[in-house]
Structure 1
């Protein structure tokens, strides 16, 4: 049968919410309620309240709100049914089984949990015994604190092939199904873990579901793997399990970050250093299910893999898995470890502060993707450049969210263009120390003057382009300041591009500290009378005029990209109406902001003109009204 509202209400009624929350949060009695500093956000004054009578908690700071089930799903990251089962077990209620087969599977899992729990206790006892001396010595060499050893449940598996079997009173079939014994088809079954330091692998509820073991005497067993994990069982699905999640989830909600490392020994090393919010996959690349588990805790987990080629490849596999899953606000960030070091090495060699500095400065998924693909091969030929572009576009096409896909495509192609086709080397403007008596009018060839005239005439139909051209004629010392932006614009504008080249050529004859206008050249047209930019008005302060000109250059360079993006979004309507509409609306807002900036420049000119007119009129004479002569 399904979970009815009546059954869930009974569960809530039997659960004392303050007792559940009080396990991880220090509550203080406040009348009929309890209060605490909110575990969902950082605060110094308590605004988090728990009401047992009403059965809910509420934070007046961040608006977190829920009941006991919501607490376990949000604060500890449990799936809904796991939260229900945990509360039901504590309340003495049986969770209705959806069907007989599900009940049978649940019973089997419960029995296997008994096996793994008993095995864990036996491993812990063996570590404390005389047999565990070598394992204890290893833990001491690693510098693990006693509390860390206890909290993580370290144990020891003796070398004998039948030791576990003789110690536990479970059927052989259950031991095999739980992954504790190996089914030898042509011989006697034997214990899977032998001569190893043991570590329990737990689910989100903290129950032991599997084990990992590290070989202690590698010389005596040269063919044995250094680390050995349990096989997949009805309890253990390695692609859906993250080591230490049950401890890291509450810590991550307090700190706002989740650190993902490659192995469980790295997790323990971080915990030993005081970084509790660390998890690790279990012998596989990070899977889609594990990424979803991480996103339940934080929006942008930090991947802190080893600083070798294998670690870099593992990060790229995780990125490839995450790309189709990206959604607004959810991504991954990559922490680059020093070459050849893993987090455990770094902590031992340089201490916690060194690792914290790296964790505080991760690179985005986008940056990591670009850096990796850019470094795959040199770009010495057109074929290699085409290969880089193809790989980048393959990654882009994997992204399912249309807005994120469009933004990634635009950013990666911009980076590709700048990297594969670097901008021209900046011109060397002449910085002569002194002019003689008076600076000469800049020299330009007849052809350059002709091109400049044509460009100004052509640009006159475009008020912004015309204004910028005349502004640069008036203030050629600004050409050096804006050269990179102007060259980028010239490359995509056939009308204005030649004129920009002519202006830059003329500017090479100038002392960039002076302001001799190119507009002194005979034959160049004057600015139109109705032009609306203050930087062309002779009455504008030169400093203000140059800043206004800089704003106009910025607008001129931004406009083609904005227009092109709008055209692309419009073209996408036929096959992606929802995504195209959202992108178009965003771009239209940018277009309105663009027009508003243009309007502000016109307003500044009008204000400056009004101020000059007021100055010309002068202040009224207070005595003039009384003059009767």
Structure 2
């Protein structure tokens, strides 16, 4: 159905956004606007604002933003057209007349819903009857209480080829076939699809039964039998338990994706309702989109066996092209050989919380999966790994996301195959200090290299004294090193590198505040024998880059403070636009930093060896 912009504008104008949101969220008046604790994330202090005049809401905590239609699709999980219909009915607006094809599809869906809902009612009745004894016993063994059976609408299909067909004969055989309830083969008499199985309704976001999953009670194959795809049921777009998990996920601020029906039901038995499952297939891009409408980073909890880990990697690879800024997935490593139902049965909620306490980010999962495939001792295999990682990053459709994945993969690669672990540990020990709040903070390696460059080319400090003095240096000994360079530039501007090195030695600066050729990043201004003019050009560029990046950090902190302090939404667009410009500029600066410091690792090793030899011979730094 095509909806004109004019109709949607009229719909928004007739909808009181505060009244709509106020049906499910406690709101209070704040001047000309309303405020509330955000329904999209957990918070104690209200940062969610509603502006009826402009017809939009915004959360300054999680950046949720939208209009009435967006609220129904994001907060209640309704499809777009269903959200529009609900708002139009409340506003007294007639929906535009659908074209003939859309009208026929809507009428067909409405009738099929009647058939599937009637089938769900009939299956529930059979579970409570004589023939349902074996299914009830199975549920008892699985620890599924009567209350939980009712919540999920569980039922039973008798082992008969025609009982359902007879019970629902008012719908007619063609409709029951189209709804996936009967099977018709080669013109023979249609018969019941589900026989002798525990029946699990598959519901849409509004809680209506649209399909079924049937589990066999005894030995046999297939263990699970799902409805075929129908006009109501698209397996790749549907998630089991979405109707119950959507409100639970907003309350818990998390959403689990597990492999099967009984995992979802098992978690629910422990009071964990924020779980969904795909329907016997790998998680699709469409299903991921539905997950991301509820929460930014869903947790994918695949079984702790080889098959489960393969499924996790497939989901991660499939997610990459669909990733956007702020959206991702995470993957806990469940105990080997256990699924979510096993975990909660053995140890309850505490065991589950422990199992999902430290999930791996998507980038880490993909890197480890690819790295595990190669012979780490082979240069050719490592090159192949880098090529594969680059291809994975390129598969991200969002340019900024792709660039960050490329950098993360590179960082992880050099963690494993760059500097030796022992050397990296020494480097970290050298540059990590305690910050003003008692936390461990990592001083920038760029600052280290710039200070060494200024030691080699002291005239830069003389010419740019104010800029060097304004560099924010967090590490205490780096700051002392910088102060020595500035003092020399003021009092003895003609002093050469050897003289500065002598002063640094008398200042008793430890090795942690001195450039170490075995560990530090390699720039032209730190390399022996580099062209002086080129080295100076790069050093000046690096100083300017660091200064601008710090200015951007200060400006972003100011913008964030303004956004939090502003009691209205009127300035939001301008503030957010300024923040976005800031982010984009900082990304460009990061790219510039990589360009200034880019060097092949093998070349770095050769240069380091040469520098060690040179400094040993001359007794220099």
TM over 0.5: yes
Bigger mean CA offset, 101-110 vs 462-471: 462-471
Aligned to 1:157: 157
Query: Which of 1 and 2 has greater Rg?
Result: 1
Q: Contact 2:17 / 2:55 at 8 angstroms: preserved in 1?
A: no
CA contact (8 A) 2:332 2:359 kept: yes
2:241 aligned with 1:209, yes or no? no
1:478 to 488, 510, 517: 510
1:394 alignment partner in structure 2: 391
Q: 1:40 to 1:456 in 2, by over 3 A?
A: closer
In the superposition, relative to structure 1, how do residues 405 and 6 fare at CA in structure 2: closer, same or farther (>3 Å)?
Answer: closer
Q: Whole-Å Cα distance in 1 between the matches of residues 45 and 521 of structure 2?
A: 58
Structure 1 unmatched runs, 5+: 430-454, 500-554, 567-578, 593-629
8 Å CA contact retained: 1:35, 1:48: yes
CA–CA distance in 2 between the matches of 1:328 and 1:427? 31
Please state if 1:78 is matched with 2:78: yes
Distance 1:471 1:265 in 2: 72
Out of 228, 251, 254, which is 2:248 matched to? 251
Contact (CA 8 Å) 2:335, 2:355: kept in 1 or not?
no
Q: 1:413-424 to 2 correspondence within 5 Å?
A: 413-423=410-420
Name the structure 2 match of 1:182: 183
Residue aligning to 2:297: 300
The 1:177–1:273 alpha-carbon spacing in structure 2 relative to 1, beyond 3 Å, is same
- CA change 1:139–1:456 in 2 (3 A) is closer
Change (3 A) 1:319 1:278: same
Contact 1:123 1:155 in 2 (8 A): yes
- Aligned with 2:519: secondary structure? helix
Could you say which residue in structure 2 is the equivalent of 1:406?
A: 403
Q: Bigger CA drift: 403-412 or 281-290?
A: 403-412
Query: Counterparts of 1:484 and 1:316 in 2: how far apart (Å)?
Result: 41
CA distance in 2, matches of 1:470, 1:129: 95
Residues 15 and 87, structure 1, Cα contact 8 Å, conserved in 2: no
Query: Against the structure 1 CA distance between its residues 275 and 498, is the aligned structure 2 distance closer, same or farther, given a 3 Å change threshold?
Result: farther
Q: Tell me which residue corresponds to 1:127.
A: 127
Counterparts of 1:380-391 in structure 2 under 5 Å? 380-391=377-388
Using the alignment, how far apart are the partners of 1:267 and 1:428 within structure 2?
43
1:476: how far off?
Answer: 7.2
Q: Contact 1:267/1:279 (CA < 8 Å) preserved in 2?
A: yes
Matched residue of 1:200: which SS?
A: strand
What is the rounded CA distance, in whole Å, between the counterparts of 1:64 and 1:318 in structure 2? Answer: 26
Distance 1:406 1:588, change over 3 A: same
Q: Which structure has the higher relative contact order (CA within 8 Å, separation 6+)?
A: 2
Q: Gapped runs of 5+ residues in structure 2?
A: 427-452, 462-481, 486-496, 531-537, 550-579, 594-621
Q: Tell me by how many angstroms 1:585 deviates.
A: 4.7
Between the aligned partners of 2:285 and 2:261, the Cα distance in structure 1 is 19
Shift of the 315–100 alpha-carbon distance from structure 1 to 2, 3 Å rule, reads same
Work out the CA distance in 1 between the residues paired with 2:454 and 2:48.
Answer: 66
Q: Counterparts of 2:231 and 2:81 in 1: how far apart (Å)?
A: 17
Per-residue deviation, 1:341: 1.4
Structure 1 Cα separation of the partners of residues 507 and 424 of structure 2: 17
| Structure 1 residues 382 and 580: CA distance shift in structure 2, 3 A | farther
Q: Secondary structure at the match of 1:399?
A: coil
TM-score by length of structure 2 reads 0.67
User: Residue 349 of structure 1 is aligned with which of 346, 350, 364?
Assistant: 346
When residues 418 and 561 of structure 1 are mapped into structure 2, their CA distance, relative to the original with a 3 A threshold, is farther
TM-score using structure 1 length: 0.66
